Amino acid sequence: MQRGQVDLSRCAAGQGEQRMTGTVITVTSGKGGVGKTTTTANLCAALTQLGQRVVAVDADVGLRNLDLVMGLENRIVFDSIDVAEGRCTLQQALVRDPRAEFLYMLPAAQTRDKTEITPEQMCAICKQLVNIADYVLIDSPAGIEHGFTTAIAPADRVLIVTTSDVSALRDADKVIYLLERDWHRQPGLVINRFNQRLVSSGEMRGIDDVLDILAIDLMGVVPEDERLMLSTDRGTPAAFDRRMYVRRAYENIARRVMGNNVPLTDYYRPGFLGWLARLFGR
Ligand SMILES: Nc1ncnc2c1ncn2[C@@H]1O[C@H](COP(=O)(O)OP(=O)(O)OP(=O)(O)O)[C@@H](O)[C@H]1O
Ligand SMILES: [Mg+2]
């Protein structure tokens, strides 16, 4: 086995005596561009820093980005379609993140179509991954078509990422409806690009308004932070960067995902402490 590769030998399908341990979480939204990939990458980084074994799966076939946001694009040799079609093993396709104790990424194919990996193939891949990871996070493509179905099929849990603008909320609402009707899943919500200043001036919906519309459990709020784009350009998820204040938001979501009771207070409530934290965090 080459250095940096993960030992998947104990994951062979059909070994009935092996207990599946990991949880598959799909990050989806409906609307494009609201922050699914950014959330997936940073949540993976936050979870791994909390001692969890994590695999990130890019399910956005044809438009992959997760490798860029995680800064792993130069390490890619194979992708999930190569695995599904038997050109390589899952072990060979997994890309290791050298910054973390146990963080791997399974890339999507860049030159293929979303229909070329089936929900069954994605389930088979995840079935192996949960044997080596505590969390498998799937970055879903936008929309509610085949790529969405493929990303949702193996999910134990689903996170909906939305911004608070009306089109993102309408699409999120549609996805929540489909998840409940067709998949019997109650997703959790991440509100992204939140800006308290705009809420205070009446230019942006507040958290309570968003929750009134979508009526699902809030898993966290990620503030608007223009430096996230720079961290993407650098290929360093903010959750790995101690200078980034937004890192705290991802850490809190990760803790909630792990079942810890983390109060939803600091990032959106006005008040002196929140103001002080923002001031010194930056
Ligand atoms: N909290 C945030 N603050 C500022 N910028 C953000 C934030 N979250 C995401 N962005 C920026 O928004 C853009 C879109 O993010 P991202 O690629 O994660 O969205 P997506 O939902 O995965 O898009 P797609 O549907 O195309 O896959 C990126 O430039 C990213 O840096
Ligand atoms: Mg994306």
Q: DSSP E strands: which ranges in the chain?
A: 23-28, 54-58, 95-96, 103-106, 135-139, 157-162, 188-194, 217-223
- Does 5 map to a domain? no
Closest alpha carbon to 102 in 4, 177, 35:
4
- Does 9 map to a domain? no
Q: How many CB atoms within 10 Å of residue 2?
A: 7
| Residue whose tokens read 């791997």 | 104
pLDDT tier, 34 (very low <50, low <70, confident <90, very high otherwise): very high
- Does 63 map to a domain? yes
pLDDT, averaged across the chain: 88
Ligand 1 neighbourhood includes 32 CB (under 6 angstroms): yes
pLDDT at 272 > cutoff 60: no
Closest ligand 1 atom to 29 CA:
21
| Higher-confidence position of 250 and 272 | 250
Residue 233: the pLDDT is 86
Between the CA of 128 and the centroid of ligand 1 the distance, in Å, is 29
Ligand positioned closest to the Cα atom of 39: 1
- Does 131 map to a domain? yes
- Does 64 map to a domain? yes
What distance in Å separates the CA atoms of residue 78 and residue 67, rounded to the nearest whole number?
A: 12
Ligand positioned closest to the Cα atom of 31: 1
CA 218 to chain centre: 15
Query: What CATH number has the domain bearing residue 111?
Result: 3.40.50.300
Pocket test for ligand 1, best of 160, 228, 278 (most atoms within 8 A of CB): 228
Percent of the chain residues past pLDDT 90, beyond the cut: 76
What distance in Å separates the CA atoms of residue 45 and residue 104, rounded to the nearest whole number?
A: 10
pLDDT tier, 169 (very low <50, low <70, confident <90, very high otherwise): very high
What's the structural domain count of the chain?
Answer: 1
- Does 11 map to a domain? no
Ligand 1 neighbourhood includes 143 CB (under 6 angstroms): no
pLDDT at 267 > cutoff 50: yes
Instruction: Please report, for residues 20, 78, 129, the alpha-carbon distance to residue 90 in angstroms, rounded to integers and kept in the order given.
Output: 17, 9, 9
Q: What is the mean pLDDT of residues 145-168?
A: 96
Strands 157-162, 188-194: parallel, antiparallel or unpaired by DSSP? Answer: parallel
Q: What angle do CA 150, 14, 9 make, to 5 degrees?
A: 90
Percent of the chain residues past pLDDT 70, beyond the cut: 87
Nearest CA to ligand 1 atom 30: 229
Q: What is the mean pLDDT of residues 22-26?
A: 98
Q: What angle do CA 237, 238, 244 make, to 5 degrees?
A: 160
| Higher-confidence position of 20 and 43 | 43
What distance in Å separates the CA atoms of residue 147 and residue 133, rounded to the nearest whole number?
A: 23
Between the CA of 39 and the centroid of ligand 1 the distance, in Å, is 8
- Does 3 map to a domain? no
Nearest CA to ligand 1 atom 28: 229
Residue 276: the pLDDT is 54
What distance in Å separates the CA atoms of residue 192 and residue 207, rounded to the nearest whole number?
A: 11
Task: Answer whether 0.75 is exceeded by the pTM.
Answer: yes
Hey, is 6 helix, strand or coil?
A: coil
Between the CA of 228 and the centroid of ligand 1 the distance, in Å, is 8
- What digits encode the pLDDT tens for the residues 113-127? 878 899 999 999 999
Closest ligand 1 atom to 232 CA:
31
Strands 95-96, 54-58: parallel, antiparallel or unpaired by DSSP? Answer: unpaired
Sign of CA dihedral 226, 231, 237, 238: negative
Between the CA of 234 and the centroid of ligand 1 the distance, in Å, is 15
- Residues around the ion ligand 2 (C-beta < 5 A): 36-37, 65
What distance in Å separates the CA atoms of residue 168 and residue 267, rounded to the nearest whole number?
A: 20
Ligand 1 neighbourhood includes 27 CB (under 6 angstroms): no
- Does 8 map to a domain? no
Ligand 1 neighbourhood includes 225 CB (under 6 angstroms): yes
Q: How many CB atoms within 10 Å of residue 101?
A: 11
At residue 241, φ and ψ (nearest 5 deg) are: -110, 110
- What digits encode the pLDDT tens for the residues 65-97? 999 999 999 999 999 999 999 999 999 999 999
Ligand 1 neighbourhood includes 40 CB (under 6 angstroms): no
Ligand 1 neighbourhood includes 193 CB (under 6 angstroms): yes
- How crowded is the C-beta side of 213, counted as CA atoms within 13 Å? 20
> Which residues constitute the domain of residue 171?
19-281
Q: How many CB atoms within 10 Å of residue 235?
A: 15
pLDDT at 193 > cutoff 70: yes
107 and 64 Cβ atoms separated by less than 8 Å: yes
pLDDT at 16 > cutoff 80: no
- Token pair recorded at residue 137: 């996070």
Pocket test for ligand 1, best of 31, 37, 204, 230 (most atoms within 8 A of CB): 37
Residue 111: the pLDDT is 81
- What digits encode the pLDDT tens for the residues 2-13? 434 444 433 333
